[in-house]
Amino acid sequence: MTTILKPGEKLHVIHRRRLEREPHRYFAGIVEAYENGVARVTGYVYTVDTVKSAFFRRPDKRTRILAISSGDLLVNILPEHVDMDKIVYKLEKKSVRVTDGSEWYLDISEFAWR
């Protein structure tokens, strides 16, 4: 049986906002387990300071249970080579990119400032 997510896979998660004033929330982590649409993922929470237009990472590592099929999350599977401890968000002109400082990046512009 093939599972949609496997332990060790790296994820970038965007939490859908329900209200316009709700804060932007992002999570990047590594899958520990996956079963029946629910993933246990350990990583970091990222938030946006809208006054400074800057992203920052919460200092403590967290383990989250994510309902992947809930419709409340936009989940991107990251390449194996991404260094999760170096993930940052960069504003470049009108785009927002998630990167680890290497040549790799994930453009999340369509979700970043709604």
Strand order in the sheet with 105-107: 88-92, 95-99, 105-107
Question: For residue 46, which of 76, 12, 9 has the smallest C-alpha distance?
Answer: 12
In order along its 114 residues, the chain shows pLDDT tens digits of 567 899 999 999 998 877 777 677 899 999 999 999 999 999 999 988 777 777 889 999 999 999 998 888 999 999 999 999 999 998 877 788 999 999 999 998 765 554
Q: What's the pTM? A: 0.86
Helix, strand, coil percent values for the chain (each to nearest 5): 10, 50, 40
